[in-house]
């Protein structure tokens, strides 16, 4: 089984900046994660409500304003990370999401994407659902600290998030 953390130079794995032509693949990876994992703590029907509420695919403008990184395994996109600007720190970034296809989680791909964002920006901030315990542990293991909490209503559902931050400064 491949493990890119132990073999970071694996030539099967390639990271690249995504463009608008990747919009469909990005939505597909995100939705597959929500359906595979988020249903366990949100329930199936709320997940479908939220996915319906969110716009179909990222737009051309989203790709101009947000950095999307795609990870390919043998040429097939299996994960992505997206990061936009951080209003209170122009050098930092707000991580909008990191999603690894369900069949590829736990093999180090999320860490690879996160490390690329850490290298590029020196400070990262993000919001993660409070019930998404495994993702919170992933961020904690990668040096993030909880700095606050937020509530948001999405698709008719009130969601509690943890605000987390990492900095190398
Ligand atoms: C969270 C996520 C991005 C981490 O990426 P990854 O490639 O699976 O993580 P890595 O292999 O680099 O690191 C492994 C760690 O991820 C964490 N993890 C998070 N969700 C996990 C899951 N469903 N299954 C296994 N490990 C998971 C664990 O803490 C694991 O550490 P452990 O092996 O000590 O238990 C990925 O699991 C994912 O896409 N999950 C679903 C979407 C999501 O919740 N995204 C984050 C919110 S934006």
Can you give the CATH number for the domain in which 105 is found? Answer: 3.40.630.30
Q: Does ligand 1 have an atom closer than 6 angstroms to the CB of 100?
A: yes
Distance between Cα 105 and ligand 1 center (Å): 6
Instruction: Report CA(149)–ligand 1 centroid distance (Å).
Output: 21
Quick check: helix, strand or coil at residue 8?
coil
Query: Looking at ligand 1, which residue's alpha carbon is closest to its atom 1?
Result: 135
- pLDDT of 88: 84
Largest CA distance in the chain: 44
Domain assignment present for residue 163? The answer is: no
The whole-number pLDDT of residue 4 equals 52
Q: Render pLDDT for 140-164 as a digit per residue (tens, 0 to 9).
A: 999 999 999 999 998 889 999 999 9
Asked whether residue 129 is domain-assigned, the answer is no
Number of domains in the chain: 1
**Cα of 12 to ligand 1 centre, how many Å?**
20
**pLDDT for position 15:** 96
Is residue 140 in some structural domain? Answer: no
Residue with tokens 């990370």: 81
How high is the pLDDT of residue 154?
A: 87
Would residue 64 count as lying in a domain? Answer: yes
For the chain of 169 residues, list the mean pLDDT of each consecutive stretch of 10. 53 94 96 94 93 85 94 96 91 96 96 96 96 97 97 90 93
């Amino acid at each position: 089984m491949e493990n890119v953390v132990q073999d970071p130079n694996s030539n099967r794995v390639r990271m690249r900046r995504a463009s608008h032509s990747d919009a469909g693949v990005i939505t597909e990876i995100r939705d597959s994660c929500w359906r595979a994992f988020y249903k366990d703590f949100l329930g199936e029907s709320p997940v479908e409500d939220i996915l319906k509420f969110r716009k179909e695919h990222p737009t051309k403008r989203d790709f101009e304003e947000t950095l999307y990184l795609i990870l390919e395994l043998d040429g097939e996109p299996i994960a992505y990370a997206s990061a936009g600007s951080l209003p209170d720190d122009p050098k930092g970034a707000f991580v909008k999401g990191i999603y690894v296809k369900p069949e590829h989680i736990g093999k180090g791909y999320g860490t690879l994407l996160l490390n690329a964002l850490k290298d590029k920006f020196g400070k990262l901030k993000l919001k993660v659902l409070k019930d998404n315990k495994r993702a919170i542990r992933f961020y904690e293991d990668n040096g993030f600290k909880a700095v606050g909490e937020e509530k948001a209503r999405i698709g008719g559902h009130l969601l509690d998030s943890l605000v987390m931050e990492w900095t190398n400064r």
